[in-house]
Structure 1
Amino acid sequence: MADRGTPHAPAPTVDRPAQLRNVVLVGASGAGKTTLVESLALTAGALTRAGSVPEGTTVSDYEEIEHQQQRSVQLSLVPVAWRDTKINLLDTPGYADFTGELRAGLRAAEAAVLVLSAAEPIGLTALSVWRECRAAGLPTAIALTHLNAAHIRLDETLAACQEAFGEEGHPDSVLPLHLPVLKDGHLYGSLELLTGRTYGDPGDLPDAEVARGRLVEAIAGEDDTLLERYVAGEDLDPASLTEALRREFLQGTLHPVLATAPPADPSEPPVGAAELLDLITEAFPTPAERQDELPPCDPDAPVIAQVVHTSEDPYVGRLSLVRVFSGTVRPDTTLHLARHPDERVTALTSPFGKQQRPVPHALSGDLVCLAKLSATRTGDTLASDEQVIEPWSLPEALLPTAVEAHSKADEDKLSQSLARLTAQDPALRVEQNPDTHQLVLWCTGEAHQAVVLDRLRTRYGVHVDTVPYKVALRETFGTAASGHGRHVKQSGGHGQFAICDLEVEPLPGGGFEFVDKVVGGAVPRNFIPSVEKGVRAQLAHGVLAGYPMVDVRVTLRDGKAHSVDSSDAAFQTAAALALREAASHGSVRLLEPVDEVQVLLPDEYQGAVLTDLSARRGHVLGTERGGPGLSLVRAEVPEIELTRYPVELRSLSHGTGQFSRTYVRHAPMPAALAAQYEHAS
């Protein structure tokens, strides 16, 4: 994205939490969130178009991959000052892979602005992020963008918003707060309906009284005193109406809609930005009005803060973006970090793109960057004592990517680089699989996978090769079989002598059982453990395709020993030989892991998902209601069929489906498929 301006004002500071507003901007990718943030920064004077633009400076700290893909992949903060109020604007990614970053933004804010493109139908992603805001309990306003596109009809757009986001039975819970003037694809100005305040050049608005009456009725209808005055024909004063609007917004029963667009004259400020900034300062909640179980906002209380984002600066190192919930954070203080050494705060900064501007302190309710917190990760609590705030829930990383270091130099740096990546991105899970011996990066989707690999390469200089992901198969006996193991060698001095006769039978779901049925001391008692040890060692290596063998009972029936040449090692070897011979006589089968899958998705996609699960050799256990308009599908599916399922489910459900998986058991693999894996080994 091109640079749009350069920082103009110093970092805003405040003396009390009442001067703070924390606002998260949410919406689908491409809706215009970042452009709106830049418009707000320009209008507030934090950004100016004048002067040269330093290389790499934008209001959001973009990575190279964000420029390439033209979408945000991380949470970013832009603080601005407006009418003696500091507004922390949190810009969030709009792509489903980065729901963890969205939820971090919801944790850090008291209110949300849903950004919608008026040029596009309301999509499922917008509905999904709206549900996220409602689940987080955040009051939410709606900002319309792309109003300069051709054939925009504001009345149709508003009706669509009311249908999609209005409270059940109350479409007037979504109403315009301003009456905009849209001509020839340009937004010229607006009239605020409650106060009569004008922005830009609204001109003559003949529909103003009708629109104002509808808004006043909606507000007064929720307040008995105002309703009585309104019914009596009294002209309600703007102050009373504004206060009532604020109450309803905080309660989540009213969602004001605003229109925003670039100005018709490029030399003029953006249209709609001042209106939104005024609404934020006048109606949005302060940190002290937060409605949840988090610590109350008190600047004089002990410090309780949480890291909502972690990034890397090539000059400063690790930067932790912290939301202060209680107390006041100052330089040169020590804060407790649960399960880790305490962290010392050195300097406090406020971000603006790639720049960090020093600030003297961070009050309760504010957001601030702390540098060089070596042990702190995203989601961690920093506190004066041992209090801990539970982190927000994260989407489960279910897309596996097996990687190998490209060179020895890359291998030396890979482990440390992955540790730094997981500190920044808690949605990333790194596994060293003990069965397949693969290094697996578990991501939330293809976009997340691309970001992780790009960060390894560009940020840490580590090159990796992706390799086919292996599923942890097992072997077992399908029928009972017997085996004779003879290990007899003589090479001067003590030789090696051990003979074992084993019987092997299937033990479905029983793991491994060893039975001693030797009679007459054919195998001396001190060598019985050696036989079991040899059997276990061979089971670990498998007898067919190199996969561990499970669910068998092995019975030692007979054997022979030599008074001089028998040994622990000899009986281990004989036992392994006997097991391999039994495998050559019996039927050995491959077992594949089976997971129970729960898929939550809109009702309209249930049929397509059920058909797809059947094609994956899945066994559907049942379907049930998963919420309003949602279905929950439960099925058992072989893990081999789920390797790409996060990507394919997203395609099937147009980005709305989500699933979880839990290992259930290993089950026999179909013979035709098993033959492929036997040959591959």
Structure 2
Amino acid sequence: MKNYNTEQIRNIGIFGHGGVGKTSLVEVMLYNTGVINRIGRVEDGTTVADYHPEEAQRQSTVHTSLVPVELNNVKLNLLDTPGFSDFIGEVKGTLRVVDTGMFVLSAVDGVQVQHEIIWKFAQKAGLPRIVFINKMDRENASFAKLMNELNEKFNANFAPINFPIGEGLDFKGIVDVISQKAYEFGNDGKPKEVAVPDDLKGQLEEYREKVIEAAAEGDDDLTMKYLEGEELTPEEVISGLRLSIANNRVVPVLCGSAIKNMAVVNLTEFLTQYMPAPKCEDGPLAALVFKTLADPYVGRMNFIRVFRGTLKADSQVYNPNKEKMEKIGQVLYVRGKHSEQTPQVPCGDMAVVVKLTDTASGDTLCDKDNKEQLEGIDFPVPNYTVAIAPKSKNDEDKLGDAVNKLLEEDPSLKVEKNTVTKQTLLTGIGEAHVSIAINNLKRRYGVDVTVEEPKVPYRETIRSKVEAEGKHKKQSGGRGQYGHVWIRFEPLPEGDFEFHEEVFGGAVPRNYFPAVEKGLRESMLEGVLAGYPTVGLKATLYDGSYHSVDSSEMAFKIAASLAFKKGIPNAKPVLLEPINYVEVTVPDEFMGDIISDFNTKRGRVLGTDQTEDGTVIKAHVPASEMFKYANDLKSMTQGRGQFKMEFYSYEEVPAKLAEEIIKKAKAEAEAEK
């Protein structure tokens, strides 16, 4: 790949629902521009963009792939993104670094869930957009139906740049609105000019007027000329349309068939001619890492977009996120899994830097003398949790390192060790996201894990005040052991534990107080009901006795433990469960379903708010009901719902449910003995 200047670069994110043909479209573009001599198939795992093993296995995109296409002395940096909601983190990274969003739709299926979700993201980011209606060759394809749907669902000014000659099995070509010419296509994808069919001339005139109107909106002088009834020249139409697209005043719509290589050439040429070049400013280097991959051959790969200045190989840069210097060694231009070295990357371009030590996705790389941190990436918060456990001791040793590498690659994953349940919890966006992470642990890092249901980190507490004696007395040859305490236990409304002493007359010497407190704290780690930690406890040491020779810290620690085990069962102990605060955002029509579902989950709905994104339902829901909520919500809202969740508090478990939990915990404890 040769070097291009900023004006010759177009950074284009390719977005759409799974199965609309994004990857096939990129593949055909590569074929038409001579990069490949045979068109690969997604089903066979032979495309340039989908080259990861998990993509071949799923027959769909999992990782965003950078695929440059070069035509007419312009470089299109195409970022082929996943179309399934579990991999929305990849989409978020792409949205941050592209200058145009190309939405690919199926002429049969129309606007689908992921189109709606990503369109909102692109709209909030102020990203110029273009629509390509794919699969015009499929039965039941309808261009007019798609245009109506676009206008109904999205608040945008859509202007057809071309439209089909025939549809479905009769699809054979397009009419180009700007040039007013018609083309048919053979097997090689090359357009052959034909006469515009008579029955399409009225449609051409209608669409041409819309395109000219859109072009006139791009420039004040053109607007005045248009309003005064003057004809815009072809050059004015082109320049005006470019400005209107860049300023989000129009969304061009094109159509074709990727799989049959029909009108893909026209789309590629339109992208080179009309899409905006990157906005760059003079000054020292500022680049953003938007993706990280661990390649088994190349090593760690950081995908970067240069926003200012020039990134040079064999240089020193600063990472303000980590407050560390990084040495830039090799810099690569990549196309899928293929790469070649480049000495430098100009402003606006994208490339890969290998083997950086500390840099991860969302980090800035900048000039060491001008330490500016760019706006990062708004990665989604993961909420789908499973517990993982190493299958062998060998896997146990390697798990930590392997997990850290996964987290470096994918900020949408989260891993934590729960100190109560002793489980390692892996949290992702959804079931498929987590499944691929687990497969990668084994395939890439040789770590085999089992998957379990997450355990709920219950707590125990007391509801009444009791007093209990603990006496530890042991005599067996030599020095004996003696510790004796009286402790009052009572509920503590705020906080986990407080220790007090009210000992008079030196019944228990002061130097043994810390041992008593330690004995209680250790006992609290395993409660009397089901072995869960005890919280909300105030303990007061008020009496006891000691032996001048046999007493020791250990003896008083044991005595305190005995008092705990004797007293707490009589203090009306209860089981507590974690309650989460949940906010669910859904289109208005799903509000009733969400509220009903929360009721079945023992949730308490706190209220609702109306926002531009839909209805926000706020609730308190037991954590035990929420581990798989990502799946539940997707099912209830056809993927249109989003939620966020955080720990709120602990509350008493209903008596009947508590009985079951205690019974199960005791059975598991017995089984482990």
TM-score normalised by length of structure 2 = 0.92
In 2, Cα distance between the equivalents of 1:108 and 1:223?
Answer: 26
Shift of 1:344: 2.1
1: CA distance between counterparts of 2:607 and 2:171? 52
- 2:270 alignment partner AA: L
Q: In 1, Cα distance between the equivalents of 2:357 and 2:275?
A: 35
Could you say what secondary structure the match of 1:36 adopts?
helix
Given the alignment of the two structures, is residue 605 of structure 1 paired with residue 590 of structure 2, yes or no? Answer: yes
Aligned partner of 2:671 in structure 1 is none
Note the C-alpha offset of 1:663: 1.3
CA contact (8 A) 2:28 2:39 kept: no
The equivalences for 1:34-433 within 5 A come to: 34-49=23-38, 58-167=47-156, 173-182=157-166, 185-196=169-180, 199=183, 200=191, 201-205=193-197, 206-207=201-202, 208-220=204-216, 225-262=221-258, 270-288=261-279, 296-298=280-282, 301-338=283-320, 339=322, 341-385=324-368, 386-433=371-418
Query: Alpha-carbon deviation of 1:341?
Result: 4.5
TM-superposed CA distance for 1:262, in Å, is 4.3
Partner of 2:3: 13
- What is the aligned partner in structure 1 of residue 527 from structure 2? 542
- Alpha-carbon deviation of 1:424? 0.8
Report what 1:446 is aligned to.
431
CA distance in 2, matches of 1:560, 1:230: 101
Residue 68 of structure 1, CA deviation: 2.2
DSSP-derived class of the 1:47 partner: coil
Shift of 1:214: 3.1
**TM-score normalised per structure 1:** 0.91
Counterpart position of 2:615: 631
Deviations 1:161-207 (A, max 9, x none): 1112233xxxxx11201233225625433333233355424532323
2:222, 2:323 → 1: CA distance? 55
Q: In 2, distance between residues paired with 1:333 and 1:221?
A: 45
SS of equivalent residue, structure 1 residue 378: coil
Match of 2:493 in 1: 508
Q: Residue 292 of structure 2 aligns to which amino acid in structure 1? A: T
Determine the C-alpha separation between the residues in 2 that align with 1:181 and 1:189.
Answer: 5
Q: Distance in 2 between matches of 1:562 and 1:520?
A: 15
Assess if the C-alpha contact under 8 Å between 1:166 and 1:174 holds in 2: no
Distance 1:231 1:335 in 2: 53
Structure-2 separation of matches of 1:223 and 1:85: 24
Report the secondary structure of 1:48's partner residue.
coil
* Aligned partners of 1:56 and 1:354 also within 8 Å: no
Matched, 1:463 2:448: yes
The Cα offsets for residues 227-250 of structure 1, whole Å up to 9 and x where unpaired, read as 443344432211112222122211
The residue identity in structure 1 corresponding to 2:357 is S
1:64-110 deviations in Å (ceiling 9; x for gaps): 22222222111101111111111100001111111110011111211
2:28 is paired with a residue of what secondary structure? helix
Shift of 1:349: 1.8
Distance in 1 (alpha carbons) for counterparts of 2:607 and 2:175: 54
Query: 2:450 is paired with a residue of what secondary structure?
Result: strand
**CA–CA distance in 1 between the matches of 2:609 and 2:207?**
43
8 Å CA contact 1:165–1:174 kept in 2: the answer is no
Q: Residue deviations 1:256-314, cap 9 Å, x none?
A: 10002148xx6xxx2222222222222211112xxxxxxx443xx32221211122322
Gaps of 5+ in 1: 1-10, 168-172, 289-295
Is contact 1:128–1:656 with CA below 8 Å preserved after alignment?
A: yes
Instruction: Supply the distance in 1 between the matched residues of 2:7 and 2:82 (Cα, whole angstroms).
Output: 28
Whole-Å Cα distance in 2 between the matches of residues 225 and 642 of structure 1?
58
Distance 1:445 1:50 in 2: 32
The structure 2 residue matched to 1:590, chosen from 575, 579, 587, is 575
The separation in 2 between residues aligned to 1:209 and 1:627, in whole angstroms, is 36
Q: Which residue in 1 is equivalent to 2:658? A: 674
Question: Is residue 428–residue 441 contact of structure 1 (8 Å, CA) maintained in 2?
Answer: yes
- 1:41 CA drift (Å): 1.7
Structure 2 SS opposite 1:261: coil
> What percent identity do the matched residue pairs reach?
36
* Aligned equivalents of 2:145, 2:256: Cα separation in 1: 16
Q: Is the 8 A contact 2:584 2:642 kept in 1?
A: yes
How far 1:220 sits from its partner (Å)? 3.2
Residue identity in the other structure for 2:365: L
In 1, Cα distance between the equivalents of 2:181 and 2:615?
47
Q: Deviations over 1:325-368 (max 9, x none)?
A: 11212221122223265322222222222221233321111011
* TM-aligned CA distance change 1:197 to 1:59, over 3 Å: farther
User: How big is each residue's C-alpha offset from its partner over 1:398-444, in whole Å with a ceiling of 9 and x where there is no partner?
Assistant: 11111111112222222211111111111111112222221111111
